[in-house]
Amino acid sequence: MKIAVIGATGLVGDKILRVLEERNVAISEFIPVASERSVGRKVEFNNTEHDVISIEDALNRGPDISIFSAGSDISKKWGPKFANANSHVIDNSSAWRMNDDVPLIVPEINGNKLTKKDLIIANPNCSTIQLVMALSPLHNAYKIKRLVISTYQSVSGSGAKAVNQLMDERKEIETDKEYPFQIDLNLLPHAGDFNEEGYTSEEIKIVNETNKILDANINTTATVVRVPVITCHSESVNIEFENDFTVDEVKYLLESMPGVVVFDLPHANIYPMPILAVDKDEVMVGRIRRDFSQPRTLNMWVVADNLRKGAATNAVQIAQYLISNGMVN
Q: DSSP letters along 8-64, please? A: TTSHHHHHHHHHHHHTT---SEEEEE--GGGTT-EEEETTEEEE-B-HHHHHHT--S
pLDDT band at 152 (very low <50, low <70, confident <90, very high): very high
Other CB atoms within a 10 A radius of the CB of residue 61 amount to 14
CA atoms of 227 and 50, how far apart (whole Å): 35
Instruction: List the one residue out of 149, 296, 294, 135 whose CA is nearest residue 221.
Output: 149
**267 in catalytic set:** no
What is the DSSP code (8-state) at residue 104? Answer: B
For the chain, the first-to-last Cα distance in angstroms comes to: 9
CATH T-level topology, domain 127-305: Dihydrodipicolinate Reductase; domain 2 (3.30.360)
**233 in catalytic set:** yes
What is the four-CA torsion angle of 320, 325, 326, 329, rounded to 10 degrees?
-40
What is the bridge-based pairing of β-strands 88-91 and 233-241? unpaired
3-state secondary structure of 174: coil
What are the residues facing 65 on neighbouring strands?
Answer: 3, 88
CB neighbour list of residue 145: distance below 8 Å, 6 or more residues apart: 218, 219, 240, 241, 242, 296
DSSP 230-296: SS-EEEEEEEEESS---HHHHHHHHHHSTTEEE--BGGGTB---HHHHTT--SEEEEEEEE-TTSTT
Q: Where in the chain is the domain with CATH 3.40.50.720?
A: 2-124+311-324
pLDDT average, residue stretch 201-225: 98
pLDDT average, residue stretch 91-105: 97
The predicted-structure confidence for 256-277, as pLDDT tens digits, reads as follows 999 999 999 999 999 999 999 9
pLDDT band at 59 (very low <50, low <70, confident <90, very high): very high
3-state secondary structure of 71: coil
Q: Where in the chain is the domain with CATH 3.30.360.10?
A: 127-305
Catalytic residue among 50, 126, 139, 232: 126
pLDDT band at 36 (very low <50, low <70, confident <90, very high): confident
The answer, yes or no, to whether residue 329 has pLDDT greater than 80, is: no
Other CB atoms within a 10 A radius of the CB of residue 103 amount to 19
pLDDT band at 97 (very low <50, low <70, confident <90, very high): very high
Give pTM, 2 decimals: 0.96
The answer, yes or no, to whether residue 125 has pLDDT greater than 80, is: yes
pLDDT average, residue stretch 78-85: 97
pLDDT band at 38 (very low <50, low <70, confident <90, very high): confident
Q: How confident is the model at residue 19, as a pLDDT?
A: 97
CATH of domain 2-124+311-324: 3.40.50.720
